Amino acid sequence: VEVVIERVNLRDEAPPPAATVTANLTAPLLIPLAERIATGAIPAPEHLVVSGLLATERELVVAAYSDAGLGIEESLASGEWAALLLGR
């Protein structure tokens, strides 16, 4: 197993390609990334774990990543927060 941790400014840079990506981000950052994946500007990971999003934003994020070819595999919620496991 190889673990690589990189920090990038997702507004300006593409994340490095990886089989599994984790992101603790809110919907205003996650949705533009989904749009970039959908257009082929950045490669889609096999699995994407997102947390740090508000439960009220969940459906917007699920829809955006569905359009990008990543479907929901698991969803968790705790109070007003949600986390998703998305995959190809």
pLDDT value, residue 10? 74
Per-residue pLDDT of the chain (88 residues), as tens digits, is 777 777 777 777 777 788 898 889 889 989 999 999 999 988 899 999 999 899 999 999 999 999 999 999 999 999 999 999 999 9
- Contacts for 12-21: CB closer than 8 Å, 24+ residues apart: 14/41, 14/42, 15/42, 17/43, 17/45, 18/45, 19/45, 19/46, 19/47, 20/45, 20/46, 20/47, 20/48, 20/49, 21/45, 21/47, 21/48, 21/49
| Predicted TM-score of the model (pTM) | 0.84
pLDDT of residue 3: 77
